[in-house]
């Protein structure tokens, strides 16, 4: 698979900045976070790190409208956030009985939209972007884990939403496949507002225009780290190696804080 996805499928509408104001969430009688403020810049990638159990996925689900909590979720263009979000999770969640092409168009089918020629052509074009044009008729069990995640990425892009929420989408992959998919995602998601949860500091530094750490009880967000250069950055960039050490130290301190 080439690291260059070729011409990028740009979003059909400008991607707004999104803001969570005074966010709060209680789960199982525990306050996960409260009075939390988060800003994700429009058309940029924001990466969210933190210890396990800190509330990263819960925060993402709150913004997606999949969890009930407190606070306002606003877009800076004045339009509602609801209906403008695409979700990509850690598991590919492909339907095993459906073809790759049908899995890419799954969202439209679930909404009751008929997959006409234009929709099929767009889905096939996205499969070409992720290097799977020749696998459109295959079922998921014929694909490797990396291929399945590329199908999931194409399905996310097929939704054509200006805001994309990603919950550890590459964590189950081997190191080399993960690097390649990071490069691919950075290109194909260019121009969209992306909030991505990851446990990997280097992944966050390679992809993120800003990196935030969520930690504490209740959880709070760190000041943003803004890695230099364009995304995706080379993993051996000296500045990234230095920032990785800083992030690891910060995460180690956060784990100790959460255990106290």
Number of C-beta neighbours around residue 143 at 10 A: 18
The rounded percent of the chain whose pLDDT value lies above 70 is 93
Q: What are phi and psi of 216, to 5 degrees?
A: 100, 170
Does 4 score more than 60 pLDDT?
no
Q: What are phi and psi of 56, to 5 degrees?
A: -60, -50
Does 9 score more than 80 pLDDT?
no
H helices, E strands: number in the chain: 8, 9
Q: Does domain 17-83+199-260 have CATH number 3.30.420.10?
A: no
Number of C-beta neighbours around residue 94 at 10 A: 22
Does 256 score more than 60 pLDDT?
no
The pLDDT tens digits of the residues spanning 40-84 come to 999 999 999 999 888 999 999 999 988 889 999 999 998 889 889
The pLDDT tens digits of the residues spanning 218-228 come to 999 999 999 99
The pLDDT tens digits of the residues spanning 116-129 come to 888 899 999 999 98
**What pLDDT is recorded for position 250?**
86
**What pLDDT is recorded for position 5?**
46
The pLDDT tens digits of the residues spanning 228-237 come to 999 999 989 8
Q: What's the mean pLDDT in 161-190?
A: 91
**What pLDDT is recorded for position 2?**
44
Does 3 score more than 50 pLDDT?
no
**What pLDDT is recorded for position 85?**
94
Does 16 score more than 80 pLDDT?
yes
Structure tokens belonging to residue 177: 């496949």
Q: What is the reported pTM? A: 0.90
**What pLDDT is recorded for position 110?**
80
Spatial CB neighbours of 84, under 8 Å, sequence gap ≥ 6? 75, 161, 162, 163
| Domain residue ranges in the chain | 17-83+199-260
**What pLDDT is recorded for position 217?**
86
Greater pLDDT, 253 or 250: 250
232 prior amide bond cis, ω within 30: yes
**What pLDDT is recorded for position 151?**
95
The pLDDT tens digits of the residues spanning 131-159 come to 999 999 999 999 999 999 999 999 999 99
* 168 within 8 A of 132, measured Cβ to Cβ: no
């Amino acid at each position: 698979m080439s690291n260059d996805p070729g011409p990028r499928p740009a979003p059909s509408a400008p991607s707004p900045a999104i803001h969570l104001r005074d966010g709060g969430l209680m789960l199982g009688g525990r306050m996960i976070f409260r009075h939390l403020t988060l800003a994700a810049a429009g058309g940029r990638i924001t990466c969210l790190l933190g210890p396990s159990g800190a509330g990263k996925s819960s925060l993402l689900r709150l913004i997606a409208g999949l969890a009930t909590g407190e606070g306002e979720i606003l877009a800076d263009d004045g339009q509602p956030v609801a209906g403008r979000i695409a979700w990509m999770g850690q598991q590919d969640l492909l339907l095993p009985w459906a073809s790759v092409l049908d899995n890419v168009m799954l969202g439209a089918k679930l909404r009751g939209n008929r997959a006409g020629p234009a929709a099929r052509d767009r889905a096939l074009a996205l499969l070409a972007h992720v290097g799977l044009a020749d696998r459109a008729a295959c079922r998921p069990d014929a694909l490797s884990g990396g291929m399945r995640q590329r199908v999931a990425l194409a399905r996310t892009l097929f939704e054509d939403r200006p805001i994309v929420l990603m919950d550890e989408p590459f964590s189950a992959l081997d190191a080399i496949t993960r690097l390649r998919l990071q490069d691919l995602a950075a290109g194909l998601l260019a121009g969209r507002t992306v909030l991505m949860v990851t446990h990997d500091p280097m992944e966050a530094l390679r992809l993120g225009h800003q990196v935030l750490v969520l930690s504490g009880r209740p959880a709070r967000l760190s000041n943003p780290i803004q890695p230099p250069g364009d995304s995706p950055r080379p993993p051996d960039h000296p500045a990234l190696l230095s920032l990785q050490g800083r992030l690891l130290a910060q995460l180690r301190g956060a784990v100790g804080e959460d255990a106290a």
